[in-house]
Amino acid sequence: MELRHLRYFVAVAEEGSLTVAAQKRLHTAQPSLSRQIHDLELELGVQLLIRGPRGIDLTAAGRVFLDHARVALLQVEAASEAARRAAQPARTSFAIGFLTGYEMDWLPAVMGILRAELPSTEVVIHSQDSPDLAAGLIRGKIDLAFLRPEKQAPGLKFRLLRKDPLIVLMPRDHALTARNSIRPQDIAGETFISVSPLRAPTAWTAIDDYIKRVGIALKPDHQAENLAMAISLVASTGGVCLLPLYAQNLLPETVVSRPIQGAQPMVDLVIGYNEANTSPLLKFLLSKVDELKFRVSKAE
C-alpha cells in the first residue's frame, strides 16, 4: 500500500464521486483512479466503496478505513513540516486559528495579552472550519486554535473554554419570529437546513442528539458546508437552521435568531494545541487561559 492509495481513497470518499475526485482533486483520469481504488480493496481484502447511479457510498469497512487514512496522511504531512522547520531558523511568528466567527469574540482578548507582553511577535490569523484547524495543529502550521474538540486528532490537547447553546436561525419575515423563544415542535415540518457532518461534526452530533432526545422528526432539506452557506440558505430558502450562539456575530439584517425553549443543546468551545509544540509563546498563552476567558466575559 502506498500513500497515493490513501490520498485517492480519501478524495473519492469526500467528494462522493470518482469523476469529481479525478477531475477536481487529483487531476488524473477516472479509469486510472478506479483501478487504484480496486487495487487498494484487493490488498485490504474488503470492499470500501459501493458504486451506484447516484455516486459513491462508503461501506462499514470504508467508513472505518477513512478515519485511519485521514490520520495517516495528516501524520505524514506533520512529519514533513517538522523536517522543514528543523532546517530553517527559528521563526518569530505565531499562528492562531479561529473557528470562523469566534475571532470576533476572542481575537481582541488574545491580541491584548500579546501586545502587552510580546510586542515583537508577528501573529498570523487563520479563520477556518474546526476539522481544518485541527489538521493545521497536527501539521504544525497553527500553534493555537479556538475550535471544537475534534476526535480524530492525534497528538492534540484541548482545554475547555465554554459551552455554547444552539440557537434557531430564520428569515426576518418568518412566522416564528413572533415568538421570543422556539419550542422543539415549532421547527418540525419547517424547511430544515443541516450542517455538514464532515465540516462541522461536533455541531452535527449535538443537533442529531437533540432531535432524538426531544422526539421530533427533522429531515434536512439542505446541507450547509460552512457558516456562511448556512446563513445564505436560511435567507434564500425561508428555512430554519440550528447553529451555535456565535453565529449571531455574522448575521445579516435579513436573518434573525431565537433561543430554544427548555434544555438547550450545547457545543464545547475549546482551545487546542499540539503537545509536541515547544513554543515559549504557546506556553505563555496557555498560562493566560483564565485571563482570556475573563476578558471575553467582561466584553460581552
Q: What is the CATH number of the domain that holds 229?
A: 3.40.190.290
Same structural domain, 15 and 102: no
Does pLDDT of 61 surpass 90?
Answer: no
Residue 160 CB partners (closer than 8 Å, separation 6+): 268, 269, 270
Q: Which residue has the higher pLDDT, 114 or 186?
A: 186
Q: What is the CATH number of the domain that holds 10?
A: 1.10.10.10
Q: How confident is the model at residue 254 (pLDDT cuts 50, 70, 90)?
A: very high
**Per-residue model confidence (pLDDT) at position 85:** 66
Same structural domain, 120 and 61: no
**Per-residue model confidence (pLDDT) at position 120:** 66
274 is written with which cell numbers? 499540539
Same structural domain, 279 and 216: no
Same structural domain, 100 and 123: yes
Which residue carries 474488503 as its cell? 46
Does pLDDT of 87 surpass 80?
Answer: no
Same structural domain, 57 and 111: no
Which residue carries 497553527 as its cell? 142
Which residue carries 428555512 as its cell? 239
237 is written with which cell numbers? 430558502
DSSP 230-293: HHHHHHHH--EEEEEGGGGGG--TTEEEEEBSSS--EEEEEEEEETT---HHHHHHHTTHHHHH
Q: What 8-state DSSP symbol labels residue 226?
A: S
Same structural domain, 277 and 134: yes
Residue 203 CB partners (closer than 8 Å, separation 6+): 148, 166, 195, 243, 244, 267
Q: What domain range includes position 19? A: 3-84
Same structural domain, 209 and 237: yes
Q: What is the CATH number of the domain that holds 279?
A: 3.40.190.10
Does pLDDT of 117 surpass 70?
Answer: no
Same structural domain, 198 and 104: no
Q: Which of 17, 50, 84 is the last residue of a domain?
A: 84
**Per-residue model confidence (pLDDT) at position 90:** 54
Does pLDDT of 257 surpass 90?
Answer: yes
Same structural domain, 150 and 167: no
**Per-residue model confidence (pLDDT) at position 119:** 61
Does pLDDT of 89 surpass 80?
Answer: no
Q: Which of 84, 119, 141 is the last residue of a domain?
A: 84
**Per-residue model confidence (pLDDT) at position 261:** 94
**Range of 16-20, 41-45, 88-92 with top mean pLDDT:** 41-45
**Per-residue model confidence (pLDDT) at position 183:** 94
% helix, strand, coil for the chain, step of 5: 50, 25, 30
Its pTM stands at 0.68
**Per-residue model confidence (pLDDT) at position 83:** 77
Q: Which of 84, 114, 135 is the last residue of a domain?
A: 84
β-bridge mates for residue 256, sequence order: 170
Which residue carries 475547555 as its cell? 160
Same structural domain, 148 and 97: yes
Same structural domain, 260 and 172: yes
How many structural domains compose the chain? 3
DSSP-derived 3-state class of residue 84: helix
30 HSE (CA, 13 A, CB side): 7
Same structural domain, 36 and 171: no
